Amino acid sequence: MFEAILVLALSLMPSLLSLWVMGKTKAQTRERLRAAMEATARREAQTSQMPPEQQYIEGIGYLIGDITCQYNARSAYIRCAVNPAGPCDGCPYYEQEEVS
């Protein structure tokens, strides 16, 4: 009788261990997903605060700064090589871009 109970207990151990590991993995996955969603929400909140000089140009996307300036980086992240933090208004390095 004792042998039968021991065999039954040992046969159930892998299943119980598997259920325990699956529960821990599910909890970790849920926590990672929550962290990713919070990070995305923070990133969206930061990008929703658009710089005042940001503008959308069809075919290129969002750009910041004065696009008529020769030094404009044509980027959504930096304005130019000379004055990347901006602002463009009153910039001493402004040079009109020559159109050829």
- Mean pLDDT along residues 7-25: 94
Which amino acid is present at 44?
E
Give the C-alpha separation, 79 to 51, whole Å.
Answer: 11
Share of the chain above pLDDT 90, in %: 34
What pLDDT sits at residue 100?
Answer: 58
What's the chain's average pLDDT?
Answer: 85
pLDDT in the model for residue 51? 57
pTM, to two decimals? 0.42
What per-residue confidence (pLDDT) applies to 47? Answer: 58
pLDDT in tens, 36-80: 999 988 877 765 555 567 888 888 888 888 888 888 888 888 888
Extract the tokens encoding 18.
């598997």
Region of 56 please: left (phi>0), alpha (psi -120 to 50) or beta.
Answer: beta
pLDDT value, residue 22: 97
